[in-house]
Amino acid sequence: MSAVTPPIEAAARPAGRRALWALPLWLSLLFVLGVIVWAQRNDRDEREELRKTMISDALSLEAQLRDRVDEETARLTALAGQLRAARPEPGALGAQPEVAAGLRRLWLSVTWLDPRNRIIAHVPERSPVPQPAVASPQDEPGLSMHLVAPVGSADAPGGMLVARFAPAVLLRRGVPWWLARKYDVQLVDGFDQVIASTADSASRARGDSYRVSFGPSLHDTYLQLTQREAPLPWFRTLPLVLIGGFLLLIGVATALLRRQMHQVMNAEASWRSEAAWRGAMEDSALVGLRARDDQGRLLYVNRTFCDMVGYRADELIGRSPPMPYWPPDAIDEVMWRLRRNLAGQAPREGYEASWRRRDGRSLDVMVFESPLVDANGRQIGWMGSIVDITERKQLEEREHRQTETMAHHARLTMLGEVASTLAHELNQPLMAIASYTTGITNSLQRSGQPDPVVMGALERLGQQAAHAGRIVQRIREFLTRREPQHEACELNQIIRDAVALLQRELQRRGVAVEFALDPALPQVVADQVLIEQVVINLVRNAADALATQAGERRIQVASSPVAAPDLAARFVRIDVVDNGPGIGGHGIETLCAPFYSTKRDGMGMGLAICRSIIEAHHGAFDAAAAPGGGARFSFSLPVIAHANAVLSAQEEASS
């Protein structure tokens, strides 16, 4: 294809391009994977950090609590020292102010045991009525623990002092509030049994925990910190929710993108097939196509155009006038025509132009210009459709020459016939003049004294008449010397050729010719040219008669064998029938009389000549009214066998 449209890529797009729609999805998945890995690492680091903090919190809390217990132990030991000096009786313990202070602080009770572990004194003494006014360690439920201090010395044992205390109170008073909010602080024994806890059992923490031994102060006791709020796993954090949303959106966007790409690809495919169709159609068109911009520069040519002018598309596209196919001797005229066409004044019915092919041969074309409009409806130039009419022009030329030759022949034939008729007509008067001259001369001589001048004049008159007679005789001899060229011929073919010669004239006059030719028509012996003349004359006369006809104008030319009594056809008959005004009751003799014509410029010799030609062929010529109105002119000619018999009979008679 040789167009300004972009070249079509024949192969389909690679598969990679078809999967291009998924690229954003893959990139997004990669991104999300990265974010997940990052979130996981971040989560791990955070947990590690929390654990470290928890360990350090546990250690410092354990140190604080241990200090407190150690302090209580020290006070109990001091109390034991004071009791060592006192008498071991029940009131001695309650009298100690240190005991009351201890009970306010932490202790639940203090018991003094003698070396054989019998109770010497116990504070507070059991009372049936509880004193709930002020919250004291004694109100604290749960397990209790003991602090022990020896009252005597190693060499004089005085028993021991046992202070019972509530570890829950120790925790409540010893654990800072912010730590208690962060952790569930517990004291557990070696069997994992909870001794005391800062949280009630309903709100147990479920995070990481850390356990640290309480050391020698509280044997087999551990301090355990458990994170109150377990950190959310990485996949439940907000960014992950956002990522989920993001993935969803990307999924939707990819689906839309995929649909869009499908549509684009479908549109592209249909555009490509349409372009291929158009290209194939343009290239297979018999009409040359040429697009020009408003300056006459060639924008597009199709293959037919290139074949017409013999130049390749790439040699033509982009060229400005003058074009290489313009005839060099008519550049000015073609330039003028170009300016007219670009101004939008090209004839709508097209115009003829003569171009020059690359090989120098001339090319006749018919050009139809129409506006070239772009996709926005804007006129950007002119589109020309070009039809090669070289052959048609040559045919017309040939036809024209043939018609002229035919007319010339017809004129010559007619002239010959006129001359023949004149000679025939003049012969009689000339003979009469010669006879009268001889008669007058004889009569004057018989009268005795003829005037020599008159006699001389009569003699010259006789000589002139004889001379004229000889001339006429010679002309007749000359005209009758050409014998018709008898040969076997197909009448149907002669008829068709004759009508074909008149075709253009008949078309111009709007006359339709019908044939009713017998395909099995026997051959005849005839002078083809003369018979053709007869048919032409009859058809032309019929067309002349139809010229004034308003309605349908129809001529029928029929051929048929004439059946003879012995069944062998001896003649063929030709009828030329028209639906014109008819012959008005005139007989054949009138119509064929020399110089009879009803036409303004008619000569009146046509039918006379026809009849003499047909009779010279031993045929018959006739005219009659046609059955449906109009005229019917007919002639018959002997078929070949019969004609030969007639000719040989004639030859015999003449020899």
- Part of the chain binding ligand ADP (CB under 6 A), chosen from 29-37, 251-259, 282-290, 575-583: 575-583
Query: Min. distance of Cβ 532 from ligand ADP in angstroms?
Result: 16
> Which residues have C-beta within 8 Å of that of residue 376, sequence separation ≥ 6?
none
Check: CB of residue 557 under 8 Å from CB of residue 518. Answer: no
**CA-to-CA separations, 464 to 61, 559, 628, in angstroms, rounded:** 177, 51, 56
CB nearer to ligand ADP: give 569 or 605. Answer: 605
- Part of the chain binding ligand ADP (CB under 6 A), chosen from 64-72, 179-187, 227-235, 594-602: 594-602
Please pick, from the candidates 607, 614, 639, 643, the single residue that binds ligand ADP as defined by CB under 6 A.
Answer: 607
- Part of the chain binding ligand ADP (CB under 6 A), chosen from 266-274, 305-313, 449-457, 600-608: 600-608
Query: Min. distance of Cβ 606 from ligand ADP in angstroms?
Result: 3
CA distance 149 to 612: 178
First-residue to last-residue Cα distance in the chain: 79
Q: Does 604 bind ligand ADP (CB under 6 A)?
A: yes
CB nearer to ligand ADP: give 339 or 599. Answer: 599
Binding mask 512-541 for ligand ADP (x = CB under 6 A): -----------------------------x
CB nearer to ligand ADP: give 292 or 632. Answer: 632
CA distance 606 to 610: 6
Strands 221-227 vs 209-213: parallel, antiparallel or unpaired: antiparallel
CA distance 430 to 436: 10
Tokens found for residue 269:
């495919």
Residues 629-648 that bind ligand ADP (CB under 6 A): 631
Tokens found for residue 96:
């100690």
Q: Does 591 bind ligand ADP (CB under 6 A)?
A: yes
Query: Min. distance of Cβ 439 from ligand ADP in angstroms?
Result: 39
- Part of the chain binding ligand ADP (CB under 6 A), chosen from 84-92, 217-225, 449-457, 601-609: 601-609
Query: Min. distance of Cβ 292 from ligand ADP in angstroms?
Result: 53
Q: Does 596 bind ligand ADP (CB under 6 A)?
A: yes
- Part of the chain binding ligand ADP (CB under 6 A), chosen from 309-317, 334-342, 385-393, 598-606: 598-606
Please pick, from the candidates 578, 611, 614, 636, the single residue that binds ligand ADP as defined by CB under 6 A.
Answer: 578
- Alpha-carbon dihedral of residues 469, 470, 472, 476, nearest 10 degrees? 130
- Part of the chain binding ligand ADP (CB under 6 A), chosen from 141-149, 316-324, 599-607, 612-620: 599-607
**CA-to-CA separations, 412 to 388, 487, 495, in angstroms, rounded:** 38, 22, 21
CA distance 205 to 201: 9
Q: Does 545 bind ligand ADP (CB under 6 A)?
A: yes
CB nearer to ligand ADP: give 166 or 626. Answer: 626
Q: Give the length of the chain.
A: 655
Query: Min. distance of Cβ 592 from ligand ADP in angstroms?
Result: 7
CB nearer to ligand ADP: give 193 or 548. Answer: 548
CA distance 479 to 418: 10
Please pick, from the candidates 597, 618, 625, 644, the single residue that binds ligand ADP as defined by CB under 6 A.
Answer: 597
Please pick, from the candidates 159, 381, 606, 638, the single residue that binds ligand ADP as defined by CB under 6 A.
Answer: 606
How does DSSP assign 47-107, residue by residue? HHHHHHHHHHHHHHHHHHHHHHHHHHHHHHHHHHHHHHHS--SHHHHHT-HHHHHHHHHTE
DSSP, collapsed to helix, strand or coil, labels residue 362 as strand
CB nearer to ligand ADP: give 316 or 501. Answer: 501
CB nearer to ligand ADP: give 112 or 621. Answer: 621
Q: Which residue has the tokens 């048919």?
A: 535
- Of 138, 132, 133, which is closest to residue 102 (Cα–Cα)? 138
Residues that bind ligand ADP (CB under 6 A): 541-542, 545, 578, 580, 583, 591, 596-599, 602-608, 631
